[in-house]
Amino acid sequence: MKLARTIMVITGSAMLIGLAACATTRNPLADSADTLNHNAQAFAQQSDAMTPVLRQDAHQLAQSTLQFRSVIGVNGTDNADAKTAFEDVSRNYQRVKADVDQIDTPNVRADLRPVTEAYQGVERTMRAPS
C-alpha cells in the first residue's frame, strides 16, 4: 500500500513537472511573428498619412502578418501553410520597402525600421533548422 502511494506521488509529480514545462515553453517563431504583426500594424496606422500606394501596401503587409501569425498559432512551423503565409508576408514587405525607398525620407525609413528588424527576425527563425 505504501509502495503504491509512493508510485502515485512520483507519477503525479512527474506529470505536473511535464505540464509546467509545456506551459512555459516559448515558441521563438510565434514570438517573432507577434512582434512582426504588432510592428506592421503600427506602421500601417502611421502610413495613413503617407502616399496612397504606401498606405495600401502597408495595410496589405499588416493583413499578411496577421494571417501568418494565425497560421503559426494553429499549425506550428513545420508546415507548408506557414511557409506559404511567410512568402506572402515577404512579398508584401518587399513592396513596402520599395515604396519607402522611393519616398526616401528619414522619417518614413525610421518608421519602417521596427518592421524590418522584426521581419528579419522571423526570416532567420524560418530558415533555422528545426
Distance of CA 109 to the CA centre of its chain: 21
Of 109, 17, 16, nearest to 54 by C-alpha is 109
Spatial separation of the C-alpha atoms in residues 41 and 7, rounded to whole Å: 52
Would the pTM of this model clear 0.85, i.e. be above it?
A: no
Top-confidence residue, 7 or 89? 89
Express each pLDDT in 76-98 by its tens digit.
666 788 899 999 999 999 999 99
Instruction: Please report which confidence band the pLDDT of residue 73 belongs to, taking 50, 70 and 90 as the band edges.
Output: confident
Exposure string of 62-86, with b = 16+ CB inside 10 Å and e = fewer, is: bbbbbbbbebbeeeebeeeebeebb
Cell 506559404: give the residue: 84
CB of 119 closer than 8 Å to CB of 89: yes
> How high is the pLDDT of residue 75?
62
Please give the domain boundaries of the chain with CATH numbers for all domains. 28-127 (1.20.120)
